[in-house]
Amino acid sequence: MPLVLTFPDINPVAVNLFGLKLHWYAIMYLLGFAVGYWLMRRRLHHEPFRSITTPKAWSPTDIEDLLLAAVAGVIIGGRLGYVVFYKPLDYLADPLAILRLWDGGMSFHGGAIGVVVAVGIFAWRMGRPFWQVADFLAPAVPMGLMFGRIGNFINGELWGRPAPADLPWAMIFPTGGDVPRHPSQLYQALLEGLLLFVLLWFYARKPRYRGQVAAAFLIGYGAFRFIVEFWREPDAYLGFLSLGWSMGQWLSAPMVVVGVALWLWFQRRAISDVEAGVLLADEDVAAASPKAESETDEERSSNASVENDDESVEKLANGEATNASSSP
């Protein structure tokens, strides 16, 4: 047996208080939502959201409502996605098992669909454009995914494929047989979580055309998930599907295609609107103006002062004299 890491065998139950059990997996979800809330609060200081005036400026209350909608979308969509994508026949035979969330079984792709629906409802109720809300939320999502994958690792589930004998971080999982495996949960936490967050956060710091940040998330997550699936063991009851791909890869590939198509479409639509002289949204104006990306608050104040002086000069030129100028 080669030298491999031993799974830390962490008790999945973090707290057991008089029979009331709180699992680490649930704690990871709570941490993900808490960090997501904090990141969305930070987004209020980024363009274009700190200067949006139509339909109205974003507020902390809006963030709380959006977070609640996203939580509902993740839980409902994630559970139903797992039922439909992975074990439809099992749950068809026992429909009440769908409600037993404590038994595990969540699908990211189902959760993503649930969040899209939740965002759509939130945008409709608040009178905001759907893609504006999606752009606001997208950069905060990867950190939630990272905590979720850490929860998978603590549970010793969703482990990777057999690893080479000389891989120094190969690990034997309790339910994975006496075989060194890739800790693919940690791969996903780093790629789909931390790395995607860093890339998307910095990408979203500069003004982009409406919808492009959300499209970038689809591209990034789909690509990273497709790649990491080469080291993740496919579900035993599904195995490999057509082309030797796993279910995760078949669900991720369309995300990349749709993300690229949307990004290009948003770019071309905004450029066409500029050429046609169509009035753009706040974020599109910021993205179309290179000056808006680097202008500081001090420069904005200075520019406003210059504009006021210009207005005064224009009034004088038009004969709108002040009291001082009308005296003999």
Does a structural domain hold residue 38? yes
pLDDT of residue 295: 47
Mean pLDDT value of segment 256-281: 82
Spatial CA neighbour of 155 closest among 7, 6, 5, 4: 7
What domain range is 100 assigned to?
A: 5-302
Q: Which of 209, 162, 204 is nearest to 183 (CA)?
A: 162
pTM of the predicted structure, to 2 decimals: 0.78
DSSP 162: B
- 174 Cβ partners below 8 Å, 6+ apart? 7, 9, 156
With bands split at pLDDT 50, 70 and 90, how would you rate the model's confidence at 123? very high
Amino acid making up residue 164: P
Confidence of residue 270 (pLDDT cuts 50, 70, 90): confident
Dihedral of CA atoms 71, 74, 77, 81 in degrees, nearest 10, equals: -160
Confidence category of residue 282, pLDDT binned at 50, 70, 90: low
Which two structure tokens, joined as six digits, stand for 121?
């409802």
Whether 311 is in a domain gets the answer no
User: With 60 as the cut, is the pLDDT of residue 293 above it?
Assistant: no
Any idea what DSSP says for residue 160? B
8 A C-beta contact, residue 242 and residue 253: no
Q: Write the pLDDT tens digit of every residue in 235-259.
A: 877 888 999 899 899 989 999 999 9
For the chain, what is the mean pLDDT? 81
Whether residue 223 lies inside any domain: the answer is yes
**Per-position b or e across 280-311, b if 16+ CB within 10 A of its CB:** bbbbbbbbeeeebeeeeeeeeeeeeeeeeeee
Contact criterion met (CB below 8 Å) for 222 and 259: yes
The answer to the question of residue 323 being in a domain is no
d(CA 6, CA 173): 7
Query: Going by C-beta distance under 8 Å and a sequence separation of 6 or more, which residues neighbour residue 25?
Result: 12, 104, 151, 152, 154, 155
pLDDT grade, residue 85 (50/70/90)? confident
Highest mean pLDDT among 158-172, 206-220, 266-280, 288-302: 206-220
Binding site residue list: 149
Query: Is the previous residue joined to 234 through a cis bond, with omega within 30 degrees of 0?
Result: no
> Which residue did the predictor score with more confidence, 135 or 23?
135
Look at residue 299 and tell me whether its pLDDT is greater than 50: no
Task: Report yes or no on 294 lying in a domain.
Answer: yes
Q: Which two tokens stand for residue 214?
A: 């959300």
Peptide bond just before 55 cis, omega within 30 deg: yes
The tally of domains found in the chain comes to: 1
Residue 54 has pLDDT above 60, yes or no: no
13 occurs within a structural domain: yes
- CA–CA separation, 286 and 135 (whole Å): 14
Helix, strand, or coil here: 182? coil
Q: Which residue has the tokens 């769908």?
A: 98
Q: Of the ranges 48-62, 92-106, 239-253, 291-305, which one carries the lowest mean pLDDT score?
A: 291-305
pLDDT at 327 (0 to 100): 36
Rounded distance between C-alpha atoms, residue 153 and residue 149, angstroms: 6
Is the pLDDT assigned to residue 277 strictly greater than 90? no
Q: When comparing pLDDT for 94 and 287, which is higher? A: 94
In a domain, 313, yes or no: no
Any domain includes 295: yes
